[in-house]
Structure 1
Amino acid sequence: MGHPELQAVILACGDGARLYPLTEECPLSLLPVLNRPILQYQLDLLEEAGFHRALVIAAEETSSQVFRFLDEYSGALTLDRVVTDGSLDTADVIRQARDKITGDFVVVPGDLICEKGHLLAAMERHRRRGAALTMVLREEGLEVDKKGKLGRPRRDDEDVDFIGLTPDGRVVMKAPLLDVEEAVRVQKALLRRHTSVSIGTSLMDVGLYVLSQSVLQHLEEHRFIGSLQDELAPALVRRQFAPPLPPAPSRTDQARGRISIIAPAASLGHGAPAPVAADYYNDMINKLNIAKGAPGGVAAAGAGDGGGGVCAVVLRTAADGGGYCRQARTLAQYSGMTKDLLEAQLQAKGGGRVEGLNRKDQTLIGEGCTVGEKVTCKSSVIGRGCTIGARCKINNCVVMEGARIGEACTIQNSVICANAGVGDGCNLNDCQVGTLHAVAAGTKAKGEAFTRSI
């Protein structure tokens, strides 16, 4: 079933700066996961969700690589292409491509791999609510870290939001942590109009949005908005409780003038290794209910099922049946995404043979590889056409297409980029080797990045 009322937009234009040196020579959207580019997963997602057409936006600096990949695409989608300035942020990119967008639209970030059901759920909620913006939020589940402690995975501050949700899935607060100076502030209008709001930092905005076409006009009227996630989404959330905001010099200034209701930001510790203050704070804030005696019901402008508000589909943890939906914003997230999808292949029902998949060693080896004698590869993905010398030990690694690893190397928790070389007898732990870089024989390193520019 197609979706003639919705357009699909893929933001294949991110610079992937936080994934350096993996993105030094390879566009973010073409980084391989299980030997397939992330962009291929996104095209598959849109096909499976019933789309017939997609707009792919690429940065000028990497457009030739992205479009070369699209030239080889033979799927069911008709692909339109836009080239944009690579220095632009996401809202600026949408603003620049607005002439190509003729209705409500889906935005897929260039670093996302997501299951079809999550996108369909967001589209249905958007249609049913008549929302201005519908976002997909993923709950950060508890994980066991390297020290055996149970807690939420560490996230960079720029990936953390305070998000407030009503029981019916309306987003009534979205405040990036970096915009919170001393305390989280809540609009009085929110307290008047909602009987119960849960506020916390355990939900992660994955950047998968369904947007009303009217948002394009909002972007034109508020040209200071540069980011969809950090500026547009919070502005649309605030707009539910007040007339449209006039342009302002900074997001922090816009946040002033509201009442403080919870603990100071200094006590946060989101994702940190479980200090007492952080545990207490997160436990408290995730259970927080802001209750008013007034009856339920939404009086805000644009609220309710018919009025252009902001709503969300919340994906619970995989253990609760939440399914897969993650971004690869950082090196750790990229490695985690590879590990997640490799484990999913290994655990796939039916036990069918997957080309190159060694279930015993939990490793995927691409076609055309040359592997020497007495080599052990565990929990790793080896790209096409790689060469691995005799007596190597490869553990929990990604080795991309055409890489060459000499004899008697021990490499773990590392990423070796395409056509890179590692000399004989190297010992690398938690390292990244950039595209075409050659690591000298006998190198021993931990936590280093090797690139052609150093």
Structure 2
Amino acid sequence: MEFHPVIMAAGKGSRMTDLTSQCPKALLPMGNMPLIWYPIKMLEREGFEEAIVIVLDSFSAEVQKVLLEICNVKIRLDFVSIPDNDYWGTADSLRYVKDKIKSDILVLSCDLLTDLPLHRLADVHRTYNASVTVLLSPLQEQFSEVPAPGVKSKRTERDFIGFDKNGDRILFMSSEADMENSVKFRTSVLRKHPCLTIKSNLTDCHLYLMKKWVVNFLAEYKSISSLKGELIPYIVKKQFAKPKCQEKDITHNANMSVISEDVKTDIFSFAAEDKLLVILRGMSSWMDHSGDMSDCYHGGNIRCYGFVQDFGLCVRVNTLGTYAEANKQIPRWFSLLAPDVEMNMIHTSATVKEKSQVGSDCILGEGVSVGEKVSVKHSIIGKHCTIGDKVKITNSVVMDHVTISDMCNIMGSVIGASAHISEKCELKDCIVGQSQNIIAMGKFTNEAIVDIDKMMEI
């Protein structure tokens, strides 16, 4: 395909810091593989041969080791590190790799699980010669009602997205926090698209096809930091605006002679199309809309379209709730996400005592030891975990190097790596942070047991 993939893997997981304070979101285990492995497999499945991966400096070496040595990915990965201390948004990161990008681009997040054939999105992008095409999905809604382990949090704010009559072109985009009692539209928008539908049940999946000129625009307009929150709404708004006349900042010397001219350009200068292409399109009988006699694309150079994936699988793992639920579902989803890879449900090096029961939908990682009379149902057990005797684990995610002592009962919980759960503990709908030690006979419900200085951001 003609797009250069860029994987955003530098996010700090602000909605799930109980799990990501010491582990990058990209490496959180999803089944028996790191989260970032799944979008990489999607690119491999679609025939891509290379991709840029943007990671934080502090985790760059670890991410590279996991992907290249342990996961053995086939696609060529160009790892680009960005500083930890400065807050960089996704637009800042894309701006940083501008010189590496020579074509139109595919930007995707490391936390996206989807079986979408990318040509479906690319067909929309090509058909309308779009500046940006956004992947949207209503499938995430089913996860919004799933209770998350730990302290109860507020519902994630919705996006309001307005479409034209055909349901492809995005005419309006705003987050719930920015919405007012009334919504204002440009007259030019309503004149060209009198039939407008606003939907509030769609999730922006953070997968975008973009023209190369959009990256060039970002390089000049450094005030834009986020793709989803700032760039996409800005492009949507600019579709029906009029280009500004170029302004010149002229600097004179003492004799009033011109010594420099700085031409200020707006977004339309970057979006300018080849004149021959415009002429050829004007001679075509194809129209991208109906209901009036305007020319193709309504004469605009900036166009934002959306593709709604209302089939198959499409989930962003960006909250504790979606992370816990996706892990429970990954044994069922795995063949959709990686059809050429056979999932090893119980690793050959795992040992399970005869009187223990492990459900057929459970995953036991490398080096796991399961004691006598243990029951594991609908759960994921990471690498090198030790499970004592008479332990019950249900609907839970247990990360690597965890020790669960005898007669514990773990329900609907996420246990961080290297944690130690002492004898006769009961945990229901809890989060246990990395390396935490739970005292014997402790009973906890809906609690986040983490370091105080690393509390979850709500």
- One fold, TM greater than 0.5? yes
- Give the structure 1 partner of residue 326 of structure 2: 337
Aligned to 2:112: 112
Distance 1:184 1:406, change over 3 A: farther
Deviations 1:227-268 (A, max 9, x none): 10011111111111103699xxxxxxxxxxxxxxxxxxxxxx
Give distance in 2, aligned partners of 1:121 and 1:360: 37
Distance 1:240 1:81 in 2: 34
SS at the partner of 1:207? strand
Please say if residues 239 and 245 of structure 1, whose CA atoms lie closer than 8 Å, have aligned partners that are also in contact. Answer: no
Q: Cα offset for 1:116? A: 4.3
Aligned residue in 1 for 2:160: 162
Query: What does residue 76 of structure 2 align with?
Result: 78
Select between 70-79 and 426-435 the one with higher mean Cα deviation. 70-79
Q: Secondary structure at the match of 1:71?
A: helix
SS of residue matched to 1:18: coil
Code of the residue aligned with 1:108 in structure 2: it is L
Amino acid at match of 2:138: E
**What SS class does the counterpart of residue 17 from structure 1 fall into?**
coil
1:31 alignment counterpart? 28
Name the counterpart of 1:296. Answer: 291
C-alpha separation between the residues in 2 aligned to 1:245 and 1:324? 43
Q: Which residue of 2 aligns with 1:191?
A: 190
Partner residue in 2 for 1:355: 345
> Equivalent residue for 2:88?
88
Cα displacement (A) at 1:185:
2.9
CA–CA distance in 1 between the matches of 2:13 and 2:34? 14
The answer to whether the aligner puts 1:10 opposite 2:4 as a matched pair is no
Change in Cα spacing, 1:126 to 1:298, as seen in structure 2 (3 Å) is farther
Match of 1:100 in 2: 100
Output the amino acid matched with 1:43. I
Question: Structure 1 pair 18/347, CA: closer, same or farther in 2 (3 Å)?
Answer: closer
Name the CA distance, whole Å, in 2 between partners of 1:298 and 1:453. Answer: 63
Shift of 1:384: 1.7
1:253 matched to which residue of 2? none
Amino acid at match of 2:107: V
Cα 1:347–1:14 change in 2 (3 A) is closer
Inter-CA distance 295–170: structure 2 relative to 1 (3 Å threshold)? closer
- The change in CA–CA distance for 1:403 and 1:304 in structure 2 (over 3 A counts) is farther
What code does the residue aligned with 2:121 have? A
**Hey, what does 2:381 align to over in structure 1?**
382
CA shift digits 1:293-344 (9 cap, x unpaired): x9625959x946994411111011xxxxx01111111101111222332333
* Deviation for aligned residue 1:195: 3.3
Decide whether aligned partners of structure 1 residues 298 and 313 sit closer, same or farther in structure 2, where only a CA change above 3 A counts: farther
AA partner of residue 324 (structure 1): L
User: Is 1:176 the equivalent of 2:175?
Assistant: yes
Shift of 1:168: 4.5
Unaligned runs of 5+ in 1: 148-153, 247-293, 317-321
In 2, are the aligned partners of 1:129 and 1:304 still within 8 Å (CA)? no
**Amino acid across the alignment from 1:366:** G
The aligned length equals 388
Query: Secondary structure in 1 aligned to 2:5?
Result: strand
Structure whose alpha-carbon radius of gyration is higher: 2
1:445 maps onto 2:434 in alignment: no
Match of 1:328 in 2: 317
1:362–1:75: structure 2 CA closer, same or farther, 3 Å change rule?
closer
Partners of 1:48 and 1:116 within 8 A in 2: no
Secondary structure at the aligned position of 2:384 is classed as: coil
| 1:120 to 1:346, Cα distance in 2 relative to 1, 3 A | closer
C-alpha RMSD over aligned residues: 3.0
TM-score normalised according to structure 1 size: 0.78
SS in 1 for 2:417: coil
- Specify the code of the residue in structure 2 equivalent to 1:100: K
Kindly indicate whether the alpha-carbon contact (under 8 Å) linking 2:358 and 2:377 is maintained by their aligned counterparts in 1.
no
Q: Is the 8 A contact 2:171 2:236 kept in 1?
A: yes
Q: 1:441 to 1:228 in 2, by over 3 A?
A: same
Give the aligned residue type for 1:313. F
Match of 1:64 in 2: 61
Return 5+ residue gaps in structure 2 as ranges. 148-153, 246-288, 348-356, 454-458
Structure 2 Cα separation of the partners of residues 81 and 343 of structure 1: 31
The farther-off stretch of 178-187 and 102-111 is 178-187
> Could you tell me whether the CA contact under 8 Å between 1:194 and 1:298 is conserved in 2?
no
Is the CA contact (8 Å cut-off) linking 1:59 and 1:83 kept in structure 2?
Answer: yes
